[in-house]
Chain A
Amino acid sequence: DVKVTQSSRYLVKRTGEKVFLECVQDMDHENMFWYRQDPGLGLRLIYFSYDVKMKEKGDIPEGYSVSREKKERFSLILESASTNQTSMYLCASSRSGARGDEQFFGPGTRLTVL
């Protein structure tokens, strides 16, 4: 079974802090994704990566950056956290370099920025 893990289930940070959300998958997947989920807005893609050191912007990249130094790990970085980044963050991975493959999700990190 594919396993996607995220470093924290719950996180509370203060405005202006630098925040790292880590995601690790154990199935040698090429593609990895970061989404945020907000009431009334559904899931929205922040960034994705289709290979090590490669990244592409999703729908809402502003205020975020990502890092993919190793194939199994995809980090989401909030350079200076703001209250409007309070959200549920979900990481996902999929198998091949081709688009359209099945995505598997981690358990999510609920981030609160005070």
Chain B
Amino acid sequence: EVQLVQSGAEVKKPGESLKISCKGSGYSFSSYWIAWVRQMPGKGLEWMGIIYPSDSDTRYSPSFQGQVTISADKSITTAYLQWSSLKASDTAIYYCARRVSDGGSGLRFDPWGQGTLVTVSS
């Protein structure tokens, strides 16, 4: 079974750093892009960026460029999302999702991790 399992909920103070993880299993981790998606409280989904674990090629949404860092360690089939200095506005649920593509318009994201709730409060 293809699975993405994310790290647990975090409570942090503004200015602190944080790295959350997404561990893939049941498939060839290096061969599929992994995306990160933000969902702020009561709001919709925002695509943040994506990484190809095989060579760590990374693309960011302009809205998130410079605000977060996406990385991956293919040896332990894990992708990461990190912040160097959190803000209260980073409070959200963060999802990872595997990109699947069979050519043409069949590019989609499946499955998704269970989500990691990040709370930033003083």
Do they bind each other? no
